Homo-oligomer: A and B are copies of this chain.
Amino acid sequence: MNNNPIGIFDSGIGGLTVAKAVSKLLPKEEIIYFGDTAHLPYGDKSTAAIQSYSIKICNLLLEKSCKIILIACNSASAAAFNLVKEYVGSKAIVLNVIDPAVEYIGEYYSQKKIGLIGTKRTVLSDVYNQKIVELNKSIELKSLATPLLAHIIEEGFATNRVGDEVVHQYLSDDILDDIEALILGCTHYPLIKDKIDSFYASQVEVIDSSEVVAISLKEKLETHNLLSDNKNTIHKFYVSDYTKSFEESTKIFFGEKVILKHYKLWE
């Protein structure tokens, strides 16, 4: 089972930032990535819709004998993690991108005020807040939905004035006043981490969850004796709807261009 693949899924190609962090930290692990581009973005969708999409994707990843299923999408982690964990049972270890960030906050920010930015779905779900309250460390979480950011990044405006202005407008919201750290609650956001850092003049720690997620995944594999010793790992990348433009964007998120295969999960 050790050499079985790690399944990673997301609403689209944003989760490739997480896949990249995993592949960098664990080069011997084979990844099967599924981007649900037919339903992208999840941030606007209802909880029930995201849950049903997630279950269908998990069926595929289980069929492919994944030892781990990592939900590399904050909206899906918020809406569907408990359901997916229950559904998958002992067939695979199910991980999400929220718990590692929350654990990190718990470790370093006891009794502090922390910010979170993410999609509408992630913020409305209140999942980060509930998990932080459970830590019982008097951490105050302030959340703000920043739905335009992912689009800004996908459409190539992240590197110019528009990106600066949108980041500025969102982060100037009163609700984020006096925070000591900010969780990037969307897999797209690591790509504008430098802009956010510069908004805060590095006075606020900006937490890129893709890195903490990869570290937490590695620990999980070690604990369960599931580390792979694959010599040649060939990752596979599937999408539920294929367009040239998705494929071109993979380079932004994965650091190198990847070949997307159209998997007709909904036909």
Contact = CB atoms under 8 A, between A and B. Distances in A.
B166 A162 contact: yes
A208 B242 CA distance: 31
Contact of A162 (B52, B169, B245): B169
A40 B267 CA distance: 18
A113 interface: no
A167 to B, nearest CB: 10
A27 interface: no
A134 to B, nearest CB: 26
30 contacts: A37-B44, A37-B45, A38-B49, A40-B44, A45-B241, A45-B243, A46-B241, A46-B242, A46-B243, A49-B241, A52-B267, A120-B243, A120-B245, A147-B151, A148-B151, A148-B152, A148-B155, A148-B157, A148-B162, A151-B151, A151-B155, A157-B166, A157-B169, A161-B165, A162-B162, A162-B165, A162-B166, A162-B169, A165-B165, A266-B266
Enumerate the 9 nearest inter-chain pairs by beta-carbon distance, A residue then B residue, closest first: A151-B151, A148-B155, A49-B241, A46-B243, A147-B155, A46-B241, A162-B165, A45-B241, A162-B166
